[in-house]
Amino acid sequence: LTIDSAELRLVRLPLVTPFTISTGTMTEKLFPLLTLRANGIEGYAEGVMDPWPDYLEEALPSSMALLREVLIPAVIGRPLSNPQALTPLLAPWRGHRMALAMLEMAVWDLWAKSLGLPLQDVIGGSGDQVAVGVSLGITPVAETLRRIESHLDQGYQRIKLKVKPGHDLALVRAARGAFPDAHLTVDANSCYSLADTALMKAMDAFDLDYIEQPLAWNDLHDHATLQTRIATPICLDESIKTLQDARKALQTDAARVINIKVGRSGGYLESLRIHDLCLAFNVPVWCGGMLESGIGRAHNIHLSTLPNFTKPGDVSSSSRYFTRDITEQQLETAGGQMPVPRHGPGIGVTVDRGFLARVSETPEVFG
């Protein structure tokens, strides 16, 4: 496998509805799309970094520069016998797991396509569909209750509610009161501290499947302390960027569930290692999302077919996010399941080139 050329472009898609979490509101999805070419085959991946560092410290400007000046030039024209051969080329670079993931994921897509296999087959996944949940942004409580009902009616198997200070306990109480049997979770996106322990403890009354990332994005230690004080399992998202983060979290009981985002953790190899370590610790994982287009969503679905993805993931219908997606196939759930896209090998979706050109800037071309 020798990559002969590449394209890097920024894509802008308006969101169907604004998405508010504790750190702010998104009204559009702006993301980098990487295309790698080898012998006429194309591999794709999208980046999950935000324009500015408000989810993690990685952000678009530095990631784009790293891809343009270092990562893409390092792989063009260099024979790679398999995706593992990328590891030594990426090893020197600290952080920037999202930029590294873009390159790695596009190589996996290309590799699977060169073998004529669905991506799930080359990473060790199986099955035709994956269980899906939904992540509901912050809206007034009455509106959130309507959205919960509508998504339960559509079959979503778990409802995740975004919370923030002042919009937490009353919301959860109302949701649990209205939907006594639903699988409910909350996601704080790091907006609390140990000073909020009493509030976190009060959440124990509402039978949540887990509380996602309640404390600082870079603080495993405080999560371990909090877990000794509450019964609800803690799920880590932002805090798990590497295998070593996962090991420390599992060894210290800072997480009893882990949200794996392949686009956040450097790609498939690191995600597979995290997945396997969680299995060894008997800790379930699920696949998180970053409002991806059909390209990132297809990657996430293939990843979700690994055996320890035993909880529903945030891989919901594309139409929840966008009126029109950049893939020719619309990824839609039915009955609480998302079918694995296999309209061809690799990630199993194809790009709608005409529409992509309309929603992206002029690509930078390499090679």
User: What residues are labeled active site?
Assistant: 162, 261
Name the one range near Mg ion by CB under 5 A: 138-146, 200-208, 235-243, 333-341: 235-243
Whose Cβ is closer to ligand OSB: residue 135's or residue 157's?
135
Position among 35, 316, 329, 360 found at the interface with ligand OSB (CB under 6 A): 316
Q: List the one residue out of 12, 15, 33, 11 whose CA is nearest residue 323.
A: 15
Residue closest to ligand OSB when measured from CB atoms: 289
Asked if residue 55 binds ligand OSB (CB under 6 A), the reply is: yes
Whose Cβ is closer to Mg ion: residue 111's or residue 309's?
309
Asked if residue 338 binds ligand OSB (CB under 6 A), the reply is: no
Whose Cβ is closer to ligand OSB: residue 118's or residue 137's?
137
Token pair, residue 258, equals 């882990």
User: Side chain identity at 341, as an amino acid letter?
Assistant: P
- What whole-number distance in Å separates Cα of residue 194 and Cα of residue 229? 10
Label each residue of 287-307 as H, E or C: ECCCCCCHHHHHHHHHHCCCC
- What whole-number distance in Å separates Cα of residue 230 and Cα of residue 203? 9
Q: Judging by DSSP bridges, how do beta strands 24-38 and 41-46 pair with one another?
A: antiparallel
- What whole-number distance in Å separates Cα of residue 299 and Cα of residue 154? 23
Residue closest to Mg ion when measured from CB atoms: 237
> Residue 264 CB, nearest distance to Mg ion (Å)?
10
Say if residues 83 and 49 touch (Cβ distance below 8 Å): no
Task: Select the binding partner of residue 135 from Mg ion, ligand OSB, none (C-beta < 5 to 8 A, by kind).
Answer: ligand OSB
Residue whose entry in the numeric block shows the structure tokens 């996010």? 321
Asked if residue 50 binds Mg ion (CB under 5 A), the reply is: no
Give the relative orientation of helices 243-251 and 220-229 as an angle to the nearest 10 degrees.
30
Name the one range near ligand OSB by CB under 6 A: 95-103, 111-119, 283-291, 340-348: 283-291
User: Side chain identity at 181, as an amino acid letter?
Assistant: D
Asked if residue 58 binds ligand OSB (CB under 6 A), the reply is: no
Asked if residue 291 binds ligand OSB (CB under 6 A), the reply is: yes
Residue whose entry in the numeric block shows the structure tokens 């999208």? 46
Instruction: Estimate the share of the chain in helix, then strand, then coil, as percent rounded to the nearest 5.
Output: 35, 25, 40
Position among 22, 35, 63, 135 found at the interface with ligand OSB (CB under 6 A): 135
Whose Cβ is closer to ligand OSB: residue 189's or residue 308's?
189
Name the one range near ligand OSB by CB under 6 A: 79-87, 243-251, 289-297, 352-360: 289-297
Q: List the one residue out of 126, 74, 80 whose CA is nearest residue 107.
A: 80
- What whole-number distance in Å separates Cα of residue 176 and Cα of residue 165? 19
Position among 187, 209, 245, 270 found at the interface with ligand OSB (CB under 6 A): 187
Is the Cα dihedral 269, 285, 277, 237 positive or negative? positive
Position among 7, 58, 109, 187 found at the interface with Mg ion (CB under 5 A): 187
Whose Cβ is closer to ligand OSB: residue 18's or residue 116's?
18
- Which residues bind to ligand OSB, rule: CB under 6 A? 55, 135, 187, 189, 237, 288-291, 314, 316
- Which residues bind to Mg ion, rule: CB under 5 A? 187, 212, 237
